[in-house]
Amino acid sequence: MKKVFVALFLTLVGILVLTSESGEGFSCDDVKEELFPCLDYITGEDGDTPSSECCEGIIDLKSSTRTKKDRRIACECLKAAAIGFSGLRDDLAASLPKQCGVNVGFTISSHVNCNSIP
């Protein structure tokens, strides 16, 4: 069942890569690469804290999204993935940046308004 969720997540991200315009060299593909190690945590299958690989991805995401356009692209990618991923726990996804000690500039959630990102 977990493999089905991973395949669905990767498919959604792949679709977003093909339909999004990138800004400053950042794309939905970057989101996939950075946050793939977080899947076990955001589905509640990997304990109370994200893995070090997941946190490295969150930190890399932060450093890769320096412009408002990049943050909005990342937000839209993550929001779409969260909406289409039935096993995802929105509370755990939203807690990722804080758990990893970084502020990415937006909430990772299926309910976030990405257009309001400064």
pLDDT tens for each residue of 29-52: 778 788 889 988 998 887 789 999
The pTM score is 0.74
Structural domains counted in the chain:
1
CATH number for the domain spanning 95: value is: 1.10.110.10
Q: How buried is residue 51: exposed, middle or buried, by Cβ count under 10 Å (0-12/13-18/19+)? A: middle
CA distances from 51 to 44, 45, 94, 102, 115 (A): 12, 11, 15, 14, 30
Domain interval for residue 107: 2-116
Q: Give the pLDDT confidence of 52-100 residue by residue, as tens digits.
A: 999 999 999 999 888 999 899 899 998 888 887 778 898 999 999 999 9
